[in-house]
Amino acid sequence: MSIEARGITKKFGGYTALKDVCFRAETGELVALLGPSGSGKTTLLRILAGLEIPDAGEILIHGEDAARRNVRDRRVGFVFQHYALFRHMTVFENVAFGLRVRPRKLRQPERDIRAKVHDLLKLVQLDWLAGSYPSQLSGGQRQRVALARALAVEPKLLLLDEPFGALDAKIRQELRRWLRRLHDELHVTSVFVTHDQEEALEVADRVAVMNNGQVEQAGTPDEVYRRPANPFVYNFLGNANFFRGRIHRGLARIGAIEIEAPEHANAQDCPAVGYVRPHDIEIDRILSGKTAIEAVVRRVRAFGPLVRLELVRRDNGEPIEAELSAERFESLKLREGERAFVKPRNLRLFLNKPE
Amino acid sequence: MADYSIIDHRMKSATGEPPAARLVLIVLALSFLAVFLFVPLAAVLAGALRDGLSAYFKALAEPDSLAAIRLTLFAAAIAVPLNLVFGVAAAWAIAKFDFAGKSVLTALIDLPFAVSPVISGLIYVLLFGLQGTLGPWLAERDIKIVFAVPGIVLATVFVSFPFVARELIPLMQEQGAEEEEAARVLGASGFQTFWRVTLPNVKWGLLYGIILCNARAMGEFGAVSVVSGHIRGSTNTLPLHAEILYNEYNFSAAFAVASLLVLLALATLAAKKLVEWKSRQSAGEPG
Amino acid sequence: MTIRLKRHSVLPGFGLALGYTLLYLSLIALVPLSGIFFKTAAMNWDEFWNTATAPRALASYRLSFGAALAGALINAVFGPLVAWVLARYHFPGKRVVDALVDLPFALPTAVSGLALAAVFSANGWIGRFLEPLGIKVAFTPLGVVVALTFIGLPFVVRSLCPVLEDLEKDVEEAAASLGANRLQIFWRVILPSLRPALLTGFSLAFARAVGEYGSVIFIAGNMPMVSEIAPLLIVTKLEQYDYAGATAIAAVMLVASFLLLLIVNLLQWRSSQKTA
Ligand SMILES: Nc1ncnc2c1ncn2[C@@H]1O[C@H](COP(=O)(O)OP(=O)(O)OP(=O)(O)O)[C@@H](O)[C@H]1O
Ligand SMILES: [Mg+2]
């Protein structure tokens, strides 16, 4: 089942939490909603679920307007940011809830319900905790109970609000792989919210990046990472160095270097900013060719296979962050305080300034 | 094992008082409480048993005392269920929804706390009394409300209506609406959501509210006194009966009746502790 | 339509719950209460003013408000002491004491009145020790203060206890590490953080005491002009079938109580603004 949001606007009092948001998840897709805190991710998810009514715009479920379908019959599974487990029920009763509240005509016999709940608990590897109460579980376990509870009603659409938000890094990684596997097994259309770019890029089929109540860009992880639509997306998806300069007729001039920028062929001497990831910064001891920026090494953090350097530009004092392989660093024999020449690779140029 | 040493581990830390100061503070606080709480409480019980156990039970077995007990139970049996329904409805509306005028409504629920009990009785006399607004109309039809049982019930309902709502509102507000939303998404109907999710979550608070409501309903004096007309054997509740006996200098009987109400109060306090303990238990370890 | 009186929610039953709440509240409380003001409005102004400001009425307001203030002040001193001892120290029987602090909430006021009158009368368990010192409590205004202190105690203690329990130990430890002694810590760190709760407790105790009836009349002696509280004056007038007089005094008391609540809410709002 696909779900689509068209031109959704939502206000809380005078505050606009969502501005004309469009969003789409195809059948069987796993889509990540990525954005900083307060950007409206939860609000959008709640609107998709029918828990919140938008002030403008429409929700289409499988191409049909969902306005008249209330939460009960949208057949969505919702996993809440803070789990919202029923605290007076055991794990088993929590998972069984959705099956037991069905109208009598549609309800399965209790025996089938039990069998199904046990299967689900096995699926989330918690069958041994069936009799525990939510307060007796760890965060990760609660998370999986919440998921099992949502899956019990066989939703056509699974919405997860920061499913791994409250967990520590190691468990997050485990659970995110597990979620991907689960999704591949069940093939239920899923939207999950996160503010962790790594999580989004690693797990999702597609990513929608949100900021300030708007979707800034949507696409495959590779698209949004390689071709960010704007500075915000570039910044949000990883560490970034920026280089101020000017663009004139498809030629960018940044410090001492000139770079072709065919996408800005019409620019007339516009201020622009070039973004570069730290691993795309090339460093040399000597000037090879004339297009390099002179800098001084401020700090070296050498551990593991990657060496991180902090440099400062000679010409305008702006900092540069670079990542090198340990071998490359060895061969350069750079030390703190020494001079180096910097060349940006894969520069992404945007007209106007960053924030 | 509870550690009852007055000097505990804290004295070694930088922020504890010296043991002597602790002792002085404790003694001071307990003396204050003794004068204002413990001694008067003991005095009632001692007064009740002054003429011995058989006199005590004889005083309680008097027809007028029995009638007072019956009326007290009757008024509470009407007031408590009514206020229970009201409290649950009010708490549901206030705690789970956002709407205009919510804070005004919340403040209005506290009205009986802000109004003198005497005035709480007076309003019904002014409305239903012979000289009151509806008085002549009622008199024509030979309906007696004030100085009769209906007035007592009304006054009791009024003074005890905030208790259930007051207990539930903060509790339900704190728990938010997420569990209910989860239930709805899982397909539960409105009634199922309320019955299976909301109610079990607030049951201890609800119980405590009922206990407080009941204590107030059975113990109210001022408001009931104004509307009762003090008719022995027919419009006297237990507190009113104790007053009459006291004014007749029948002290041991007055205290015997009062001691019943003391037992009610002590049971209420014990129930409070129990409910606190239970709700802490069911909340489990925070995590 | 952009103006909505209620935010959307998937939870059901709002209309029913709110409707029932409003209906019940109106029938039980609002309509009867407004009767006082209609009745007052029906009196002519001179009549109202003469009744409401008769010397006997003025004396009763003075006593009700004065004794309530005195009782609340006593509680503002001893309440924090009791709360502190209960929140911070261990001693035998602490749990029983903790439970009994709520006794004035739970005990019917008539019983409190009987008990206090018995204990503080000249031959009572406490009165007999005060009598030789020339202190008469029962059947004097002092008795009213005692009863109102009794009534107000749990309001102050219960407002303070949660704050004292939540008060983080590390704030005190930080102050100690900065060289403050125990008294300075109490005065400069603990007391300021207690102030809003103390104010709340104090005003609740005061508001409750102003209208108190049952626990007072047994110990007060009820002499007009001396130890007659305003609620009692209302009852007295009612018993003489002077409905207009009773209503006038009730109206004054009601307005005073509402003003009081308003002031208290304003004060609390201001102090919460400061700490926020
Ligand atoms: N019920 C509400 N009433 C008023 N404002 C709200 C409400 N819900 C959300 N907001 C506001 O809308 C904005 C977006 O909130 P939302 O919860 O969608 O953010 P989020 O992206 O999920 O953030 P987080 O990552 O912190 O969970 C926030 O500024 C928030 O303050
Ligand atoms: Mg969120």
Mean pLDDT across chain A = 87
Quickly state the pLDDT bin for C1 (edges 50, 70, 90).
very low
Counting ligands in written order, which one lies closest to the CA of residue A37? Answer: 1
Interface of B with A in 32-91 (CB under 8 A): none
- From the CA of C83, how many Å to the nearest CA of chain B? 9
Cβ contacts of B8 on chain C, cutoff 8 Å? 90
Cβ contacts of B191 on chain A, cutoff 8 Å? none
Interface membership of B98 toward A (CB under 8 Å): no
For ligand 1, pick from A43, A51, A160 the residue to mutate: most ligand atoms within 8 Å of CB.
A43
Quickly state the pLDDT bin for B1 (edges 50, 70, 90).
very low
C131 in a structural domain:
yes
Task: Name the residue among B43, B193, B261 with its Cβ closest to that of C119.
Answer: B43
Q: How far apart are CA A240 and CA A231, in angstroms?
A: 10
Q: Which residue owns the Cα nearest ligand 1 atom 7?
A: A12
Q: Which two tokens stand for residue A73?
A: 């019959």
Interface touch B182/A71, C-beta < 8 Å: no
Q: Which residue owns the Cα nearest ligand 1 atom 22?
A: A42
Interface of B with A in 243-282 (CB under 8 A): 282
Q: How far apart are CA C89 and CA C246, in angstroms?
A: 49
Interface touch C114/B44, C-beta < 8 Å: yes
Counting ligands in written order, which one lies closest to the CA of residue B98? Answer: 1
Q: Which residue owns the Cα nearest ligand 1 atom 5?
A: A12
Interface touch C8/A71, C-beta < 8 Å: no
For ligand 1, pick from A8, A10, A11, A15 the residue to mutate: most ligand atoms within 8 Å of CB.
A15
For the stretch B253-284, pLDDT in tens is: 999 999 999 999 999 999 888 888 887 776 65
The set of protein residues with a Cβ atom below 6 angstroms from ligand 1 is A 12, 15, 17, 35, 37-43, 195
Task: Spell out the residues 6+ positions from residue A90 whose beta carbon is closer than 8 angstroms to its own.
Answer: A130, A131, A132, A133
pLDDT of res. A18 = 94
Cβ contacts of C89 on chain B, cutoff 8 Å? 6, 22, 25-26
Q: Separation of A89 CA from ligand 1 center, angstroms?
A: 29
Q: Which residue owns the Cα nearest ligand 1 atom 19?
A: A38
Name the residue of chain C whose CA is nearest to A50's CA: C10
Which residue in A54, A131, A41 sits closest to A94, CA to CA? A131
Task: Name the residue among A71, A87, A102 with its Cβ closest to that of B184.
Answer: A71
Percent share of chain B, pLDDT over 70: 91
pLDDT of res. B7 = 43
Lowest average pLDDT, out of A171-175, B34-38, B219-223, B254-258, goes to A171-175
Q: How far apart are CA C95 and CA B116, in angstroms?
A: 32
Compute the count of residue pairs across chains B and C with CB atoms less than 8 Å apart.
298
Could you give the number of structural domains in chain C?
1
Which residue in B263, B245, B266, B265 sits closest to B254, CA to CA? B245
Q: Which two tokens stand for residue A302?
A: 């050498």
Interface test with B, best of A76, A79, A101 (most B CBs within 10 A): A101
C181 in a structural domain:
yes
C5 in a structural domain:
no
In the predicted structure, residue A70 carries a pLDDT above the cut 60: yes
pLDDT of res. B162 = 92
- From the CA of C192, how many Å to the nearest CA of chain B? 17
Q: Which residue owns the Cα nearest ligand 1 atom 25?
A: A37
Cβ contacts of A52 on chain C, cutoff 8 Å? 8
Q: Which residue owns the Cα nearest ligand 1 atom 8?
A: A43
C9 in a structural domain:
no
Question: Do the beta carbons of residue A341 and residue A293 sit within 8 Å?
Answer: yes
Lowest average pLDDT, out of A103-117, A268-282, C260-274, goes to C260-274
For the stretch C215-264, pLDDT in tens is: 999 988 888 888 899 999 999 998 888 888 999 999 999 898 888 878 87
Task: Spell out the residues 6+ positions from residue B23 whose beta carbon is closer than 8 angstroms to its own.
Answer: B6
Domain span including residue C182: 55-275
pLDDT of res. A290 = 66
Q: Separation of A17 CA from ligand 1 center, angstroms?
A: 7
Interface membership of B243 toward C (CB under 8 Å): yes
For the stretch C156-202, pLDDT in tens is: 999 998 888 877 666 776 667 666 677 777 777 788 888 888 988 99
Q: Which two tokens stand for residue A306?
A: 């990657």
Quickly state the pLDDT bin for C3 (edges 50, 70, 90).
very low
In the predicted structure, residue B93 carries a pLDDT above the cut 60: yes
Q: Which residue has the tokens 């005028």?
A: B101
In the predicted structure, residue B18 carries a pLDDT above the cut 80: no
Quickly state the pLDDT bin for C147 (edges 50, 70, 90).
very high
CA-A41 nearest atom, ligand 1: 21
Interface membership of A191 toward B (CB under 8 Å): no
State whether ipTM is beyond 0.95: no
DSSP string, B171-210: HHHHH-SHHHHHHHHTT--HHHHIIIIIHHHHHHHHHHHH
Interface test with A, best of B98, B174, B185, B195 (most A CBs within 10 A): B185
Q: In what order do the strands lie in the sheet with A257-260?
A: A257-260, A251-254, A241-248, A270-276, A348-351
Interface membership of B103 toward C (CB under 8 Å): no
Q: How far apart are CA A50 and CA A59, in angstroms?
A: 9
Quickly state the pLDDT bin for C112 (edges 50, 70, 90).
very high
For the stretch A116-149, pLDDT in tens is: 999 999 888 888 999 999 988 988 889 889 989 9
Cβ contacts of C105 on chain B, cutoff 8 Å? 212
Cβ contacts of A129 on chain B, cutoff 8 Å? none
Quickly state the pLDDT bin for A331 (edges 50, 70, 90).
confident
* Neighbour subunits, A (≥3 Cβ pairs < 8 A): B, C
CA-B98 nearest atom, ligand 1: 1
The segment with the largest mean pLDDT, out of A137-141, A153-157, C66-70, is C66-70
CA-A193 nearest atom, ligand 1: 22
Mean pLDDT over A66-87 rounds to 82
Q: How far is residue B47 from each of residues A17, A323, B53, measured CA to CA in Å? A: 68, 88, 11
Name the residue of chain C whose CA is nearest to B36's CA: C150
Mean pLDDT across chain C = 86
C85 in a structural domain:
yes
C21 in a structural domain:
no
* Neighbour subunits, B (≥3 Cβ pairs < 8 A): A, C
Interface membership of B230 toward C (CB under 8 Å): no
Percent share of chain C, pLDDT over 70: 91
Q: How far is residue B266 from each of residues A245, B261, C70, C96, C215, measured CA to CA in Å? A: 81, 9, 28, 11, 18
In the predicted structure, residue A355 carries a pLDDT above the cut 50: no
pLDDT of res. C115 = 92
C221 in a structural domain:
yes
Mean pLDDT across chain B = 86
Mean pLDDT over A309-326 rounds to 89
C135 in a structural domain:
yes
Q: Which two tokens stand for residue C86?
A: 């209960």
Q: Which CATH number fits the domain that encloses residue C271?
A: 1.10.3720.10
In the predicted structure, residue B12 carries a pLDDT above the cut 50: no
Q: Which residue owns the Cα nearest ligand 1 atom 11?
A: A17
Mean pLDDT over B68-78 rounds to 94
- From the CA of B183, how many Å to the nearest CA of chain A? 7
Interface of B with A in 157-186 (CB under 8 A): 178-179, 181-186
Counting ligands in written order, which one lies closest to the CA of residue A210? Answer: 1
Q: How far apart are CA C146 and CA C255, in angstroms?
A: 25
For the stretch B141-168, pLDDT in tens is: 888 888 889 999 999 999 999 999 999 9
